[in-house]
């Protein structure tokens, strides 16, 4: 007899996965290699060592090891806030009057408020183990900066955070939280780096962008002794760390023999989505399932749905290695959407490849529709979602309503990446009905594409 499905699908502490799952090992067609921007040859570990921690580079370049052990000193930290709850959205199902089953993995229960802590802790752990004394990073909406600040406080490392200027103004409490955990926070662009000074000279009133903050953080890491740079999304090792989300979700669902038909995640740089879907996508690639995967991005920053599959820089100063990804161009500056964590021009190379090869779908959503879904979810399920996460909620509701029309009893799983406590400016705009929907024109996108590197690899 099938077990009764509870509202919370618990895992015991000893059931927390001890391995990350590296999906690339099971991809027959691998993502294209990272290129050195000067030689245009595949980047080597040595090329990357001035910027990143050694272990992260090893993971970044590894596309053959399926399971990578989570070190004990990190598992210990994970146990303080994991497993993250996997919840059946029974109230939402009822309110939508849908035959579908809806589940969500709630990554917002730790103090930083999002899934980003999973990779922040891993990167801080490795930095400490390698004998570094400090790290630099950027933060857009502030979630990554908070997660890194927490992780650095725990492992005893210094941290400088370049925070996109508009976000530091929109989210003063995020800034305060990052500073409370002991990090040095600098609104970007700033005059503390060459990259920042250059951008300010061109555009003194700019509110900044993630790409620009990355340039500043990388420059500072390279110029500081025993210091490296850490990134909270986009790169393959970040997706690897986030596979703890999918590993846990799968372990909990397997206990009840639940095979999701649809998995939905919001996509900024792709780390939560890549992590959530990893083991399920592995099954699909092996022909063991027909699960449908849907990435949801803001219509204001449509990397998948309107971007190009090309080699591009990760930052506006064009200093990072080149990644082949869906991108709007490193020069694309998205409008001031409230889902700050989704305002990035590019998308993780693994997800980009899967999308290109038809294993992953993508949809875009406009801001007011996303907030309609967010508020509906808050009222029905009780949890105030982050604006980013609400993109996934919007499409989960769409899919559940589609099931209502067709009578299909699909099982829908989505990633609830974080809580919205620090996004009250956005909710206030929504409540006051002053929220707008900015969708870039084709001409706006063309301008972004013109910043793509002019290299032979982009002409094929």
Ligand X SMILES: *Cc1c(COP(=O)(O)O)cnc(C)c1O
Binding residues for ligand X, rule: CB under 6 A, are 114, 116, 141, 143, 233, 266-273, 341-342, 386, 388-389, 417-418
Least distance to ligand X, CB of residue 133, Å = 26
**Residue 322: CB minimum distance to ligand X, A:** 19
Cα 334 to the center of its chain, rounded Å: 17
Q: Which of 457, 374, 460 is nearest to 423 (CA)?
A: 374
Distance in angstroms (rounded) separating the CA atoms of residues 170 and 178: 14
C-beta closer to ligand X: residue 266 or 384: 266
Instruction: Give min distance, CB of 272 to ligand X, in A.
Output: 3
Q: CB of 21 within 8 A of CB of 247? A: yes
- Are 230 and 121 contacting, i.e. CB atoms less than 8 angstroms apart? no
Residue 375 near residue 335, CB atoms below 8 Å: no
When the beta carbons of 124 and 370 are compared against ligand X, the nearer one is 370
Nearer to ligand X, 98 or 341 (CB): 341
Minimum gap (Å) between residue 359 Cβ and ligand X: 17
| Bond from prior residue into 83 cis (ω within 30 degrees of 0) | yes
Please, which residue, 98 or 326, has the CB nearer to ligand X? 326
Report, in Å, the least distance between residue 259 CB and ligand X. 24
Measured from the CB of residue 140, what is the shortest distance to ligand X in angstroms?
7
Locate 337 and state its tokens. Answer: 């959407």
Output the smallest distance, CB 5 to ligand X, in A.
26
d(CA 266, CA 268): 7
Per-position DSSP letters for 380-430, written without gaps between them: HH---B-HHHHHHHHHHHHHHHHHHHHT---EEEEEE-BB-TT-HHHHHHH
Positive or negative, the Cα torsion across 391, 107, 376, 261? positive
DSSP state of 33: P
Task: Identify the three-state secondary structure at position 21.
Answer: strand
- Nearer to ligand X by Cβ, of 260 and 341: the residue is 341
Q: Closest approach of Cβ 26 to ligand X, in Å?
A: 21
Distance CA 199, CA 38 (A): 22
Tell which residue, 125, 169, 123, 167, has the closest CA to residue 143.
167
Q: What is the b/e burial string over 348-376, where b = at least 16 CB atoms within 10 angstroms of the residue's CB?
A: bbbbbbbbbeebbbbbbbbbebbbbbbbb
Q: Token digits for 286?
A: 């092996």
Task: Give whichever of 98 and 123 is closer to ligand X, judged by the CB atom.
Answer: 123
Closest CB to ligand X among 227 and 301?
A: 301
- Nearest residue (CB) to ligand X, 101 versus 315: 315
CB of 403 to ligand X, least distance (A): 25
C-beta closer to ligand X: residue 171 or 410: 171
Comparison of 253 and 351: residue with beta carbon closer to ligand X: 351
Strands 184-188 and 101-106: unpaired
């Amino acid at each position: 007899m099938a077990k009764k499905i509870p509202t919370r699908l618990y895992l015991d502490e000893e059931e927390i996965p001890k391995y990350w799952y590296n999906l690339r090992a099971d991809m027959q067609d691998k993502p294209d290699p990272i290129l050195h921007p000067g030689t245009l040859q595949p980047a080597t570990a040595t090329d990357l060592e001035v910027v990143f921690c050694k272990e992260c580079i090893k993971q970044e370049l590894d596309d053959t090891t399926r399971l990578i052990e989570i070190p004990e000193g990190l598992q210990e930290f994970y146990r303080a806030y994991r497993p993250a709850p996997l919840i059946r959205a029974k109230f939402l199902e009822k309110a939508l009057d849908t035959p579908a089953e809806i589940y969500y993995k709630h990554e917002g229960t730790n103090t930083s408020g999002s899934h980003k802590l999973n990779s922040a802790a891993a990167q801080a752990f490795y930095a400490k183990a390698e004998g570094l004394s400090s790290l630099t990073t950027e933060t857009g909406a502030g979630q990554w900066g908070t997660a890194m600040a927490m992780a650095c406080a725990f492992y005893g490392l210094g941290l400088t955070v370049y925070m996109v200027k508009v976000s530091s103004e929109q989210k003063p409490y995020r800034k305060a939280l990052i500073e409370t955990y002991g990090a040095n926070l600098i609104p970007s662009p700033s005059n503390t780096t060459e990259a920042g000074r250059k951008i300010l000279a061109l555009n003194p009133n700019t509110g900044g962008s993630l790409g620009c903050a990355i340039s500043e953080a990388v420059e500072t890491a390279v110029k500081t002794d025993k210091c490296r740079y850490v990134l909270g999304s986009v790169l393959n090792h970040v997706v690897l760390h986030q596979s703890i989300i999918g590993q846990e979700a799968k372990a909990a669902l397997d206990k009840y023999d639940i095979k999701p038909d649809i998995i939905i995640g919001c996509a900024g740089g792709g780390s939560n989505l890549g992590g959530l879907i990893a083991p399920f996508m592995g099954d699909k690639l092996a022909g063991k399932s027909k699960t449908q995967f849907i990435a949801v991005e803001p219509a204001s920053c449509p990397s998948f749905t309107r971007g190009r599959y090309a080699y591009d820089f990760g930052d506006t100063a064009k200093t990072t290695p080149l990644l082949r990804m869906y991108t709007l161009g490193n020069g694309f500056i998205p409008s001031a959407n409230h889902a700050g964590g989704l305002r990035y021009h590019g998308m993780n190379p693994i997800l980009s490849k899967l999308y290109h090869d038809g294993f992953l779908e993508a949809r875009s959503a406009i801001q007011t529709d996303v907030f309609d879904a967010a508020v509906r979810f808050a009222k029905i399920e009780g949890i105030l979602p982050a604006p980013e996460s609400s993109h996934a909620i919007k499409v989960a509701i769409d899919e559940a309503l589609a099931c209502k029309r067709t009578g299909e009893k699909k099982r829908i799983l989505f990633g609830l990446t974080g809580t919205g406590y620090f996004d009250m400016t956005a909710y206030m705009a929504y409540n006051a009905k002053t929220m707008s929907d900015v969708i870039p024109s084709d001409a706006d996108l063309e301008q972004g594409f013109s910043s793509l590197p002019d290299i032979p690899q982009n002409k094929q």
